[in-house]
Structure 1
Amino acid sequence: MTSPQVSEPKAKKPDWLWIGLCVLVGVAAIFVAWRLVLPNPDLNAMPAFWSGVLINVGTSILLAGVLFVLERRFVKETRVVVAEAAEAAATQAVEHASNANNQLGARVSELEARLNEQLAEQQRIHDEALSSLTSDASYESVFPSLKMAYELGAVSQQGLTIPAGPDAGSPRIRFVYEPAFYDDEGGGHEEQLTVQYVAERKPNEMGTPIVSTLWHAGDHPTDVFRRLMADMVRSGRGNDTKRLKIGNAFTNLALALKEAMSARRGDESWQSGGSVIELLTDGWILTENGVETRGHGIVATPPQFTPPFSASERQAWRLPDKPKWADPEVWKVAMQRGQQELPTYSPFPF
């Protein structure tokens, strides 16, 4: 930006003839007035009257010439002052705009750098929490990691289900973070961590038992699983307690949370980034988007697990066919779990 240039009008030469004539007439009028009163000092006489008139007229004409010169000088000086003031103001405006642009650029750069630092610090905290979970199965590691994943939407609000064993057919355990909740009557609870056994319905069984236990701060993980397994026995699921492996449960929990968080943050991942419902086995998960596998993406979507309402259409309906590359046992578990967790609506409105 350049400062505006204030052009000065070209000055006209003084009209010396006019100035000289005014001076000459003024001096002549004063001289005549002086001559009128010189021989007759009587102030009441007529010559004295005209002498006063001529003095006033002569003085006025003489001042007109002098003021003409002074007025030109004053206008010239004023013009110079105005021009200098305008140029100074324009320069100051340019400098102010330049400084403002520089300061804005500095602020933007500072904000960008600060945001990147905050994001890096946030990711570092997440990574440290997840890393600690791989070697520490305490409440102090599990609770904040699961809460963090819940708040980011990396896991479903119903919790994260994992196999508590070495394969996809192992008994399934669900870790649920529940935020604080209070009703108008004063009931409710503070935020808490619940560990559930995901029971499968037996033939001719009315309903499916809910087996769960609260994990309180200070509880050792073996005490939590001991209580859970005792409830499993009371509900008739004693056989599954023999196959339940606490080490595999926490290993799979750490694996599922790490990959779910990475996908949710947009890091490089084989997962879609949808909220994870269940880890079926390594490389197989259920998300809100469907059944996902490493290397093949989404292989079955929620609508494919939704039976139609019509009875005639329901007879012809079936689950997706197994791809040639899929392991039969893993595919069977994936279809069973998908049918239970992923339908977009219930075929029975009641």
Structure 2
Amino acid sequence: MAETTRTEVAAQTEEIRQATHALQQQVADINRELEERRRARADRRTSVIQDLRDGYSFDTVASALEQANEIKGLWHGAVTVPAGPSFGSPRVRIFWGEERLGGRFSTGNIFDDAPPAIVLSYEVPHDEQASGYKTASIRWRHGQTAGEALDELITDMQTAGHTSAAARVGSEVFSNLADALEQALSARAGEDDGWITGPLDEWIADGWAVTESGLESRDGGLRIPAAAFPDARFEAVSAATKEPPKKFDPDVPDDVDPDLWACAVERSRYKFKGSQSASIASQGLGPKAYTSKWNPRRDDWPLAEQS
């Protein structure tokens, strides 16, 4: 009897050992698969940015924007960057996606059935947005070079009367875009070199950005939280009544260049409470950005131009 009991116990122990080993092996296999998937995603993120830096083209820009929007790395699906070498350069906003509600891959004009395009828009400084100012925006179509698209934007800016700003637009818009999207991807993926804490809206300069969280810097973290900015609706009322807007003049940090700080605050202050973009986004309306899984670039791309 005792021998039988020992045999049964040994058999049960072996079954438990084998089951435990099988479970451990399953856990190890899952962890290995997860790690492989993480590496593959990291490789894709690195690849799209490297491809962009290697050559600025419609497809490399579209791919990088799609990847950033795949992980919600851009606050409103678009990103604003300096179009020149300094933080004082003109700003251009770049968007790749559905430009209006309705239509699977529509273009923003109900009378326009042209194929989708990357939209490049000049951001008119707030203090120049008086009544009668004209916007400047172009649609970068597949088949156009980066230089052709940028030249078209410059021409549109000149036509709209933004002559001085147009003269300062250069190819740096694309290198700044690469820097911005690289940080948006790194931060959203939780990588060590990611320093922004929210989805990116504007790349102010190297190490400075406006995100959903507020005004952030690489060295100083969250400099001004989103909640600390004034309500943009009150700013609009002040402009309409010709009254001075509510003063918003946070102290310049000791470690920051005063001119850079002034630019960063000015670029941030109209993006939060009461802003049109934030209001539209909160309602789930407005343009819908393309992602790496949802976009018109497929086997039959490019779509034929409509006659």
TM-score range, shorter chain: 0.7 to 0.9
- 1:11-26 aligned within 5 A: none
Taking structure 1 as reference, are residues 112 and 174 closer, same or farther at Cα in structure 2, changes over 3 Å only?
same
Please tell me whether the aligned partners of residues 214 and 268 of structure 2 are also in contact (alpha carbons under 8 angstroms). yes
Please tell me whether the aligned partners of residues 187 and 195 of structure 2 are also in contact (alpha carbons under 8 angstroms). yes
| Cross-structure match for 2:226 | 302
Pairing partner for 2:150 from 218, 225, 232: 225
- 1:147-162 aligned within 5 A: 147-162=66-81
| Cross-structure match for 1:330 | 260
Matched residue type, 1:332 = A
Q: Which has the higher contact order (CA 8 A, sep 6+)?
A: 2
- 1:133-144 aligned within 5 A: 133-144=52-63
| Cross-structure match for 2:214 | 290
| Cross-structure match for 2:303 | none
Pairing partner for 2:44 from 125, 128, 135: 125
| Overall identity of the aligned pairs, in % | 25
Single out whichever of 199-208 and 223-232 deviates more from structure 2. 199-208
Matched residue type, 1:273 = T
Please tell me whether the aligned partners of residues 161 and 175 of structure 1 are also in contact (alpha carbons under 8 angstroms). yes
TM-score scaled by length of structure 1: 0.66
Which protein is richer in helix relative to its size? 1
- 1:1-350 aligned within 5 A: 6=1, 92-179=11-98, 183=102, 188=106, 192-201=117-126, 205-206=130-131, 209-246=134-171, 248-269=172-193, 271-307=195-231, 317-341=247-271, 343-345=272-274
| Cross-structure match for 1:31 | none
Taking structure 1 as reference, are residues 315 and 277 closer, same or farther at Cα in structure 2, changes over 3 Å only?
closer
Output one character per residue of 1:267-298: Cα deviation in whole Å (capped at 9) or x when no partner. Answer: 12362331111111112111111111221111
Output one character per residue of 1:233-265: Cα deviation in whole Å (capped at 9) or x when no partner. Answer: 22111221111112x111111111112211221
Per-residue deviation at 1:210?
A: 3.3
Output one character per residue of 1:70-127: Cα deviation in whole Å (capped at 9) or x when no partner. Answer: xxxxxxxxxxxxx96x887766544433322211111111111111011111111110
TM-score scaled by length of structure 2: 0.74
- Tell me, which stretches of 5 or more residues in structure 2 are unaligned? 108-114, 238-243, 280-307
Please tell me whether the aligned partners of residues 52 and 178 of structure 2 are also in contact (alpha carbons under 8 angstroms). yes
Please tell me whether the aligned partners of residues 194 and 212 of structure 1 are also in contact (alpha carbons under 8 angstroms). yes
Per-residue deviation at 1:193?
A: 2.3
Q: Structure 2 CA distance, aligned partners of 1:111 and 1:269? A: 27
For the residue of structure 2 that corresponds to 1:331, the secondary structure is helix
| Cross-structure match for 1:75 | none
Q: Structure 2 CA distance, aligned partners of 1:195 and 1:116? A: 37
Please tell me whether the aligned partners of residues 98 and 104 of structure 2 are also in contact (alpha carbons under 8 angstroms). no
> Would you say how many aligned residue pairs link Structure 1 and Structure 2?
262
Please tell me whether the aligned partners of residues 143 and 193 of structure 1 are also in contact (alpha carbons under 8 angstroms). yes
Matched residue type, 2:134 = P
Please tell me whether the aligned partners of residues 162 and 278 of structure 1 are also in contact (alpha carbons under 8 angstroms). yes
Taking structure 1 as reference, are residues 309 and 316 closer, same or farther at Cα in structure 2, changes over 3 Å only?
closer
Per-residue deviation at 1:218?
A: 2.1
- Tell me, which stretches of 5 or more residues in structure 1 are unaligned? 1-5, 8-82
Output one character per residue of 1:195-230: Cα deviation in whole Å (capped at 9) or x when no partner. Answer: 111112465821653322222222211111122122
For the residue of structure 2 that corresponds to 1:335, the secondary structure is helix
Over aligned residues, Cα RMSD in angstroms? 3.1
Which structure has the larger Rg over C-alpha atoms? 1
Output one character per residue of 1:141-197: Cα deviation in whole Å (capped at 9) or x when no partner. Answer: 1111111111212222241111011111111111112159763x8884586522111
